A and B are shown apart, each in its own frame.
Chain A
Amino acid sequence: MSLTVEAIRDCLDGAVPAIVATCAADGTPNTSYVSEVHFVDHDHVALSFQFFNKTRENVLANPSATVIVIDPQTAAQYRLALRYLRTETEGPLFERMKAKLSGIASHTGMAGVFRLLGSDVYRVLSIERIPAGELPAPPRRSLLAPLRVSSDRLSRCATLGQLLDEFLASLEQGFDIHHAMVLALDAPGERLYTIASRGYEASGVGSEIPVGVGVIGVAAAQRTPIRINHMTSDYAYGRAVRESAERSGWGSMLETTIPFPGLAGTRSQLAVPIIAGGRLLGVLYVESPEDFRFRYDDEDALVALSAQLGMAMHAQEQAAESEEPPATAAQRSAPARGAPAIVRHYSADGSVFIGDDYLIKGVAGCIFRKLLSDYSREQRTEFSNRELRLDSSIRLPDIADNLEARLILLEKRLAERCEFLRIEKTGRGRFRLRVDRPFKLVDVPG
C-alpha cells in the first residue's frame, strides 16, 4: 500500500523545518526551508506562506514542488511530490496554521519574523520513504482504549453536572491530561464562559473569553481545533483578554470579571469546539506545562470525545425542557434564621452582588434574581427549566440557548462564593433553591 499523509503526520507537527524545492518557468531550481507543512487530509498538505520569496513566485508560475519532511523522533525522511492548488488567507485551516506557526516562531526565536500570510494548499502526488537510517520509534500508547472507556463513562451520565465531571475526570485518568476546562457559548454575548474545570487552583467557573480571542476564542469563531505546541505570547490569556474587554466596552465592568484559571507558563494548548447538530455549544480547552504535549492523535481523540460530549449536552438540554414531576411534593421550607444578607441585582447587566462580593451577571444573574424574588414573595423553592424559559423577565436569548449550562454556572458560583444559598437538582428539568439565611433583595435600576 502506498503511503498516505496520515501515516507520516508525526513529521508534520513543525518540530523540524521541512525542505522545499521548486523550479522557475525557465527551469532554474530553488530550494528553501518551510516552517510548517500542515496535515490537511489523506492527500493534501498546506505549506506556510510567510514571505514573498522565490518559492512563492515559482509555484505560482510552475505548480510542482518537492518537499522533504523528517520524523523528529526516528529521523525517518520522506519526499513528497506536490502540486500547488490554492492559497487560503482566512478560515479554519489558516487559523490552525497561524496558531501553530506562532508557537514555532516563539520557540525558535523568530517571534515577530514568522507571520503567516497564507496557507498554500497542495495535492500530494506521491510520498517516498527515503532509504536512510532510522531510530526505533518510541513506544506509544493507543488512544483508542482510553477513548472507549471515556466514551462509556459519558454514556452513563444522567445530568449535565455529572457529564462535565466525568468528562474532565476521563481526560485526567484516561489521557493523562491534568489541566482542562469546558466553556459554554453565550451566543448573543459573543463570549464563552467556563462551566467546569479540573487541575487549577481556582476553578475559574464563570470566567469569560471573547469569541475570537486566544486559542479558545479562535477555536469557537472558526469551529476548528486550535493546537499550539510551544509557549507563545500571541495566544496568551490574561492581558489579551483584558485588552479585548476594554476595546469591546466591557472594560467598565472589570470588577465583575472572574479570573481565567489557565496555567501561567502554559507550553502546549489545544482547544476543541464542542458542536452538536451543527450548533456550537462551547469549547474544550486542555493545556500542559510541557512542550509538544498534544499531537495529531490527541487532537483526533479529543475531537471524537468532544463530539460525544456535545451530543450528550444537547440531549440533556432537550430532556430538561420536558420536566418530570417532582420526586417529592413541593416543600415550603422553614423560614431561614439570622440577620438578613443584602443581595443586589443591577438590571443594567444582570450582575448580582452578595454583600460586596460579586457573584454572577448576565442571563444567569437574571435567573438568580427571579428565584430570589419568587422566594421572597411566596417562599417558593421549587422551580422548573420550562418556567424560566417562559419568564419574560429573564430574557433568555432563544430556545437554542443552553439553559442547563447557565444553571450549572449559577450552581457552582453559589457553591464557591455564597454560604447560605444553593441550587440543587431535584429531577429532570427541575431544581430547588435552598436558603439557609434570610436575605433582602435590592434591585438597582440601570
Chain B
Amino acid sequence: MVQASPALPLLDEEHAAFIQGGVSINAASSGPGNLPAVSRALGCRVSADRRRVTVFLAVSRSAALLEAISASRRIAVAFSLPSTHRTIQLKGTDAALAAIETGDHELAERYTRAFASDLAAAGYSEVVARTLLAHQRSDLAAVEFSPTAAFTQTPGPGAGAPLKRT
C-alpha cells in the first residue's frame, strides 16, 4: 500500500485523467456491523493538486452508503474502463459530504456521455448506459475524500498491487 507523501500526491496526471474519463465508478463504505454499502457513482472530480477526489452519487439510490460514510468516514472507489478492463481503486478515511459546485451538473452530464460512449465501444447498449446514470439534478450529492491508498485492480496477475506513478 502506498501512503500519500507530503511531496507527491498518490495520483499522477494520467491517473487523474483516467478516473475523470468514461470509466464505470462505484463507491463503497462500511456500515454498522461491518456491512458493506455500495452505489454506482455519477462522475468524479479531482482537485487541481490531485490530493482530493470528489465522487457524485444519487441520494435516492445511496441511502445506506451515505449513512455509512457519515458514520465511518471510510470509502473505497473503483474506476474501471469497460473497453479495456483497466481498473484503479482508491481508498480514504476522511470521506464526507461536500457542496455541489458550479459546473458539477455539467460534469455529471459529460461523464454520462463519456461512459455511454465507452460502453458502446465495448459492445454494450449506449441507451442502457445513459439510463443507468440518469438522475434528477436535485438528487445529486458530492462526497469528497483524500486518497490514502491506491491500487491497480485490472484483472490479471498484477491485480491488487499498489498503483504505480507513470
- B28 & A16 in contact (Cβ 8 Å cutoff): no
- Given known A19-B38, A64-B34, A130-B61, contact A28–B91 (CB-CB < 8 A): yes
Q: Using known A-B contacts A32-B89, A66-B37, A113-B155, determine if residue A27 contacts B160 with beta carbons closer than 8 Å.
A: no
Complex CA–CA separation, A31 to B75 (angstroms): 9
B-chain residues with CB within 8 Å of residue A72 when the two chains form the complex: 124-125, 128
Q: Could you tell me if B132 and A53 are in contact, using CB atoms closer than 8 angstroms? A: no
Minimum CB distance partner of B72 in chain A: A27
Which residues in window 64-97 of B have CB below 8 A to A?
Answer: 72, 74-78, 80, 85, 87, 89, 91
B127: chain A residues within 8 A (beta carbon): 135
Task: Output the nearest chain B residue to A62 by Cβ-Cβ distance.
Answer: B34
Interface residue? B153 (CB, 8 A): yes
B159 within 8 A of A: yes
Residue B156 lies at the interface, judged by CB distance under 8 Å to chain A: yes
Asked if A113 meets B156 with Cβ closer than 8 Å, knowing A29-B28, A70-B132, A75-B131, the reply is: yes
Structural contact, A135 and B155, CB atoms closer than 8 A = no
B8 interface contact, C-beta 8 A: no
A351 within 8 A of B: no
A322 in the interface, Cβ–Cβ < 8 Å? no
User: Which chain A positions have C-beta within 8 A of B27?
Assistant: 31
Residues of A contacting B26 in the complex (Cβ-Cβ under 8 angstroms): 19, 21, 31, 68
Q: Is the CB of B76 within 8 A of A29?
A: yes
Asked if residues A21 and B76 are in contact (CB atoms below 8 Å), the reply is: yes
Kindly state the separation between the CA atoms of A11 and B123 in the bound complex, as whole angstroms.
17
Distance in angstroms between the alpha carbons of A214 and B132 in the assembled complex: 37
**Is the Cβ of B128 less than 8 Å from the Cβ of A75?**
yes
**Looking at chain B's contact residues, is the secondary structure mostly helix, strand, loop, or mixed?**
mixed
Q: How far is the CA of A133 from the CA of B60 in the complex (A)?
A: 12
B160 near A54 with CB under 8 A, answer yes
Chain B, 134-166, CB within 8 A of any chain A CB:
134-135, 153, 155-156, 159-160
In the complex, what distance in Å separates the CA atom of A28 from the CA atom of B74?
A: 7
* B20, CB-defined interface residue at 8 Å: no
B132 partner, pick from A20, A30, A65, A77, beta carbons under 8 A: A77
User: Across the interface, which residues of A come within 8 angstroms of B39, CB to CB?
Assistant: 68
List, sorted by A's number, 22 A–B pairs whose CB atoms are closer than 8 Å. Answer: A16-B124, A19-B26, A20-B38, A21-B28, A21-B38, A23-B34, A33-B24, A51-B155, A51-B156, A53-B159, A64-B36, A65-B36, A66-B38, A67-B38, A74-B128, A75-B131, A108-B85, A108-B122, A110-B85, A132-B58, A132-B131, A135-B128
Evaluate contact between A33 and B74: CB separation under 8 angstroms. no
Sorting the interface of chain A by its residue count into under 10, 10 to 19, 20 to 34 or 35 or more gives 35 or more
CB of B35 within 8 Å of the partner chain: yes
Task: Tell me the minimal C-beta distance from B16 to chain A in angstroms.
Answer: 19
How close is B131's CB to chain A, nearest CB, in angstroms? 4
For residue B45, CB closer than 8 A to chain A, the reply is: no
CA distance A93 to B58 in the complex (A): 36
Q: Is the CB of A31 within 8 A of B77?
A: yes
Contacts A28-B30, A28-B91, A132-B134 hold; do A53 and B128 have CB atoms under 8 A apart? no
Please encode chain B, from 108 to 134, with 1 for each CB lying within 8 Å of some chain A CB and 0 for all others: 000000000000001111011101101
Cα of A246 to Cα of B77 in the assembled complex, Å: 50
Bound-state CA distance A29–B35 (Å) is 9
Q: Check if A23 sits within 8 Å of B30, measured CB to CB.
A: yes
